[in-house]
Amino acid sequence: MASDDTLELYHGDRHVGRLHDAQPLRFEYASAWLEHPEAVSLSPSLPLSQQVQVGDAVLAYFENLLPEGDLRRHLELRHHTTTVFGLLKAIGGDTASVFTLLPPGETPAPPHYRPISWEALAEHLRHRERGPLLSQQSEEARISLAGAQDKLLLMVQADGSPAIPEGSAPSSHILKPDIQGLRGVWASAINETFCMQLAAELGLDVAEASYQPDTHACLVRRYDRAPDEQGRLRRLHQLDFCQLAGTPSLIKYESDGGPGLARCRELMQQVGAPAKDLQRLIAWCFFNLLIGNNDSHAKNLAILYTEEGPRLAPFYDLMSTTLYSGLARRFAFRINGEDHPGSIERSHLEALARSMRFQPRYFVKQGLELAERMPAAIDATLTTLSAEAQQGTEQTLLERLQQRLLSNCRKLPERWVVGR
């Protein structure tokens, strides 16, 4: 029997289970879902079972669906709730996964979108002092996307025009304007677009990203959405590595007790990710070192459940954070105990390789080859992106980014080559 202190979980129009507002949170699968031949569990730590599930695994899965940081605090004030359940009740309609959370009595409705122009969105962005973008979407929109960075969820239609998802309608893209309110951070949207496109140029398999000139924002196509036979969006199941590890979003950094790189490899093997994805994990680590992305924590990795099986998801949230003096100087992961990128030497990398059960020579070679290929990829990416950077600050950012990354490509591998 459903009540106001429950939320119903759906996979498309199929009832999956029920989340109970209790301390601690409780979740139970629906009998019909357990009997369905295509039933999947929410996560490995919440297996399909008739038993009511309770404890850290339930909290970790559902809490990681919510935004983080100042964005979550703003939503708490707006919706007068500080609990995971309360926030999911307010905004849990379009989560970063295949599942939809709806209040009792509601069932999944046909998706509806409100057309809008890029110019109108640009005007909307100019009035962001009213609060974070996610909290300004239509009162009818119930959207929940993890991450601390402000963003707007959109449907980009076939003609390239945007529309606002209403209710629990799925979004196709994420619009990420320049970060505001962080000292010394500027032109972050062109920074992220460049780093995402650079990764694509290097063949790293990333979410598709472009620079949206009207809004001066990074526009990212969601990889966890795909068109179905009718041309509508179909949600795909994914789990970030905090959900896989059963840790809340507050414990996403290794220094706080979150998953380290060796643990990330274990998680990938436990879900059955193929060997080629383990190689992609190595490339991701070195790419973040080379671009100076010190915010490359475990929540920025995910497993995407495809028709071929579990795969390491396309990479996302790639940005050169060291370009900004006010952001962290330490790498998000420890490389055999060392988290200052300029102090990481071959011996650290070889020790990390052994802890991850890779051949040290093979491991280090991946980083050296990536550094060797990166300057040409930087030039190719700049050629494409410079034409879209209309403002002086954007051009300045790209110039400084080019200088910093080329310097990293020279200096960091010098320490990776010689053992000390």
Domain definitions of the chain by residue range: 6-102, 112-225, 238-417
Find the farthest-apart pair of alpha carbons in the chain and give their distance in angstroms, rounded: 66
Q: Is the four-CA dihedral 102, 107, 111, 112 of positive or negative sign?
A: negative
Taking residues 337-358, report their average pLDDT. 96
Which architecture does CATH list for 238-417? Answer: Orthogonal Bundle (1.10)
Residue 180 pLDDT exceeds 50? yes
Burial (CB count <10 Å: 0-12, 13-18, 19+), residue 413? buried
Beta-bridge partners for 177: 217
Task: Look at residues 54, 40, 59, 150 and name the one whose alpha carbon lies nearest to residue 98.
Answer: 40
Instruction: Answer for the pair 83, 269: CB distance below 8 angstroms, yes or no.
Output: no
Per the confidence metrics, is the pTM higher than 0.85?
A: yes
Q: State the Cα–Cα distance between residues 59 and 43, nearest whole angstrom.
A: 12
Active site residue 295: yes
Taking residues 181-194, report their average pLDDT. 92
Taking residues 153-178, report their average pLDDT. 92
Instruction: Answer for the pair 310, 320: CB distance below 8 angstroms, yes or no.
Output: no
Q: State the Cα–Cα distance between residues 155 and 161, nearest whole angstrom.
A: 8
Give the pLDDT score at 149: 59
Percent of the chain topping pLDDT 70: 93
Record the tokens describing residue 349, joined without a space.
């990398």
Give the pLDDT score at 26: 96
Give DSSP secondary structure letters for 305-331.
EETTEEEEPPB-----GGGSTTS--S-
Residue 136 pLDDT exceeds 70? no
Give the pLDDT score at 135: 42
Give the pLDDT score at 108: 86
The two beta strands, 238-240 and 302-306, are antiparallel
Q: Give pLDDT tens digits for 18-59.
A: 999 999 999 999 999 999 998 999 999 999 999 999 999 999
Give the pLDDT score at 129: 53
Q: Give pLDDT tens digits for 379-410.
A: 999 998 988 877 789 999 999 999 999 999 99
Question: Can you list the pairs that 13-18 forms with residues at least 24 positions away whose Cβ atoms lie under 8 Å?
Answer: 13/107, 13/108, 16/42, 16/99
Average pLDDT, the chain: 89
The secondary element (H helix, E strand) that includes residue 172 is none
Taking residues 316-342, report their average pLDDT. 92
* CB count in 10 Å sphere of residue 128: 15
Which residue in 150, 178, 295, 317 is the catalytic one? 295
Residue 209 pLDDT exceeds 80? yes
Cα end-to-end span (Å), the chain: 65
Q: Where are the alpha helices (DSSP H) in 155-307?
A: 188-201, 241-245, 261-271, 275-291
Give DSSP secondary structure letters for 27-69.
EEE-HHHHH-TT---SBTTB-S-SSPEESHHHHHHHHTTSB-H
Residue 305 pLDDT exceeds 70? yes
Give the pLDDT score at 419: 55
Q: State the Cα–Cα distance between residues 125 and 176, nearest whole angstrom.
A: 10
Q: Which residue has the higher pLDDT, 413 or 325?
A: 413
Q: How confident is the model at residue 128 (pLDDT cuts 50, 70, 90)?
A: low
